[in-house]
Structure 1
């Protein structure tokens, strides 16, 4: 298998965006907690310039495994944990990737994809730091560690939780999360109106561990992903006392800030429910 340094060279040679925005001042996050106030963090609230205006909508579609396609009102499409297998057509404008295994990244992204965001830093030991704006979408990341498959130790900062800010919504994708989150992680993540969580129950976190994180984040909408070899029902049973459970008829939802559910809801796409 090619090294991740080789992967970085291949991406650069392919002409994809550098995606680090080095030296640029990051935009002001509408979702970010005030980390300096730990443990008494204050979360930013979304506020529209005109409260009477019709809010922009975001469409989110489960494509397979850990790939969701997120489409903004201006037509920007982001595909998460993109391997080139799921959600590849039509090509997204932006992809995020994680390095746990090959179903979460690709060494040869389609040349039509403008922005490629690896969740690790292929160039060195420092964490990946993304602050990227593509039209009406702002993307940032919070790094976590992953298990090393050889000696069983942890590889620092090799996974990213990606946060997408658009249409006044804060949307998070936990990636291939292998450990509990710290107070600092929660502060860096901030408010998440919608969160995509891996529910395989073993390759990432146990269902108990993922239930604890889901409860702590308390997002209005929870979208499961990464179901492989383990049924989802045990996770849903743990969550059903505090979260509504909605088995979707299809794989897409369209959401605005005004129609987030009053009770936190786990929405299971049809393509995922059929496997669990």
Structure 2
């Protein structure tokens, strides 16, 4: 009995030491939420996404590659080799330095305080001077990128007019729109400014951005042939949105966060394509 007591004490002491060690470890979510400039959205984000290196073939002259980096950040690559990062921020970034970085104002996970100095064009979706809407129309090799301003809710509940942008990427015959941190339905003026959209990248969280029913109506108005969800904070939110969507469009789930699209290879009818991420 005495030997058993000594063994139990040894095990107990080991467990207590392990528990003390765990308690002393920094909490990722707490450490992240203490970063200057962070917003409540960060509490749901967790750790930055780190993608495994993928060996990718060179693009053909009509191909565009889209990689879901995480949250609201995509890496878009053109046939001429131009690289674009959407909603570029200080937490979730592609593994390469983009040539063009677009940013939005709603949360610190959508803009950067310290953009990589190697980026050739940094395009904020709002006017930092506060004089009105941002206006971008930039051409680089085979890429044209422009913006359509939208409003956002401020933390006081008021409207920050022209506080964010939908960014439109025209590459060859393809038109890709990233809806950013969209907070409201699209009006006829927005749709006219956007024009035809072949691929749309859109948020589905339903709380920080537009509610899910409203986002469904946005997608119906755009009629893009490829729809890729983002900004969903975990599987349950995404599953809820897909359940709302399944009667409207076919849904395809991919195993890799990368998709290559061409104008000729677009689906015959609008299709939702889900890439792994958060």
Give the TM-score category using the shorter length.
0.7 to 0.9
1:183 matched to which residue of 2? 188
Give the 3 Å change call, closer, same or farther, for CA 78–258 of structure 1 in structure 2.
Answer: same
Q: Which has the larger radius of gyration?
A: 2
Length-normalised TM-score, structure 1: 0.77
Quick one: which of 238, 242, 259 aligns to 2:244? 238
Aligned positions, number? 220
Contact 1:55-1:256 at 8 Å conserved across structures: no
2:43 matched to which residue of 1? none
> Structure 2 regions of 5+ residues with no counterpart?
1-35, 38-59
Structure 2 CA distance for aligned equivalents of residues 99 and 245 of structure 1: 30
1:203 matched to which residue of 2? 208
1:145 matched to which residue of 2? 151
The structure in which a higher percent of residues are helix is 2
Deviation readout 1:125-161 (Å, 9 max, x if unpaired): 2110000001110000000100010x20100000100
Structure 1 CA distance for aligned equivalents of residues 238 and 138 of structure 2: 33
1:163 matched to which residue of 2? 168
Quick one: which of 123, 131, 138 aligns to 2:129? 123
Structure 1 CA distance for aligned equivalents of residues 170 and 212 of structure 2: 27
| Structure with the larger RCO, 1 or 2 (CA within 8 Å, 6+ apart) | 1
Quote how far apart the aligned CAs of 1:55 are.
Answer: 5.4
Length-normalised TM-score, structure 2: 0.76
> Structure 1 regions of 5+ residues with no counterpart?
3-53
Give the 3 Å change call, closer, same or farther, for CA 84–92 of structure 1 in structure 2.
Answer: farther
Quote how far apart the aligned CAs of 1:270 are.
Answer: 1.9
Contact 1:142-1:160 at 8 Å conserved across structures: yes
Contact 1:171-1:193 at 8 Å conserved across structures: yes
Structure 1 stretches of 4+ with a deviation exceeding 6 A read: none
Quote how far apart the aligned CAs of 1:85 are.
Answer: 2.8
Structure 1 CA distance for aligned equivalents of residues 264 and 94 of structure 2: 30
Give the 3 Å change call, closer, same or farther, for CA 55–76 of structure 1 in structure 2.
Answer: closer
